[in-house]
Amino acid sequence: MKNKTIAIISIGSYISSVITSATDLEGNFVYPIALITISQIVKIIFTILATVRLWKTARYVSIILASSAIILFVLSVIQEVTLPQYGSPIIILLNVTKIIHLLAFFYAIILLWTMAKFDKEFDKAVKNSGLTSEESSLFLEDLQKGDHKSGVQRVAMAQERHRTKFKEATGIDPFAIIPVIGQDIKWTDIARQVFRVLEFDRSDTTILADGTVKVATQTKPYGYLLVESPILNVKARLPITHSADFALAASVYDVPPLAEMIAQEELLVTYFPKHKLPMGLAGITHALHYVVVPRGTLERYYEFNNDEHMANPAPEKLFNRFAWEEEIRVEVNLDPEF
C-alpha cells in the first residue's frame, strides 16, 4: 500500500471518528454503534499501517503514535469502569494523552503525505532503470526488507542486459562512454555527494612559479577529475572550473607527502559550492573540496545505516572542514567516523 493511500485512509478515519463521536443532550451517541465501531477499526488500521511504514524513517513518531493509542485505550476503559469525577488525575491524564496522540496522528499524516511526493519520482527511477514489471516488484520487496545489496544487484543485472543488447545492435559499449558532469549529469544531482578521484587530467593547464594558474584556453575548464562513486553506475569526468580547485588537485599529485599518501590511501572529492546559482553552478568561489582517507572509506560511507547517505549526503562526516575564502587546503582524515 502506497504512502498516499495510507495518508488518505488516516484523514478519512479522523473525519469519521469526529463525526461519529457526536452525542445528544443526554450524552447518548447519535450514530449507530456499528458505524462508530467501523470508524474506530479504520483508525486502528491506520495506526498499525503508519507505525509499520514510519518505523525505519521516523521511529520516534511510530513509537509515540502506537504507545499513545494503547495508553488512550487503557485510560478510556478505566474511565468507563471507574467513572472518575471531572478534574481527577485520570481525566487529566486522559486529556493529555489525547493531545499527544492527536499531534502524533497529524504529524504521521504529514510525513506520509511528504513521502508520497517521492513515490512518483521513485517509480519513474525504477522504470528508467530497465527493470521488468516482475523485477520492479522484487526490487521493491528487497528495499522493504532492507536488503539493499540484492536490490542494487537486480538493477545492475537489468542494466547489463540492456547494455549487451545496445552493444549488439550498435557495436558501441555505453559503459565505455564517460559522461561529463555539468553536461550529461546535472550539478544539482551530485552536489555534496562524494567521489573517489581516479585520475587528474590537467588539460595543458600549468602553474607558474608565482603560483598563478594559467589555463590553456578560456573556453574550457582548467582540467578534469576522473571520478567514481556508488551513486553512479559509471565513471564520470568532473570539470575543474576554478583555479583554486585546480591548484588543490595539483598539490596532491605534485607534493611528495600527499602523493605518497594517496598511493596507499584514497583521495575523495565533493562538489559543495558556498552559494548555488541556477542549475547548481558555483559562481565565483571555488567548490571542490578534497580529503585523503583510508582506502575503502567511500564504500563504508555509502553503505552506512542502510545506504543513508545516498539520499541524505553528509560529506562533513568525512571532510574535516569546508572553507571557501580563508585558507583552503587538502584535508587528511585517517580516522573518519560516521
Using alpha carbons only, give the angle 178, 179, 184 rounded to the nearest 5 degrees. 165
pTM comes to 0.57
Q: Determine the structural domain holding residue 111 and report its residue range.
A: 3-122
* Same structural domain, 205 and 325: yes
Q: Is 221 helix (H, G, I), strand (E, B) or coil?
A: coil
**Number of domains forming the structure of the chain:** 3
pLDDT, residue 179, reads 92
Per the model's pLDDT, the better-predicted residue between 118 and 137 turns out to be 137
* Same structural domain, 11 and 59: yes
* Same structural domain, 158 and 81: no
* Same structural domain, 141 and 210: no
Note whether residue 338 is domain-resident: no
Q: What is the mean pLDDT of residues 11-34?
A: 75
pLDDT, residue 141, reads 77
* Same structural domain, 109 and 184: no
Per the model's pLDDT, the better-predicted residue between 28 and 303 turns out to be 303
- Quick check: 298 pLDDT over 90? yes
* Same structural domain, 151 and 111: no
* Same structural domain, 165 and 183: no
Note whether residue 337 is domain-resident: no
Rounded to whole angstroms, what are the CA distances from 150 to 91, 141, 145? Answer: 51, 10, 10
Per the model's pLDDT, the better-predicted residue between 69 and 123 turns out to be 69
- Quick check: 39 pLDDT over 90? no
Residue 109 and residue 50: Cα distance in Å, rounded? 8
pLDDT, residue 311, reads 82
pLDDT, residue 120, reads 64
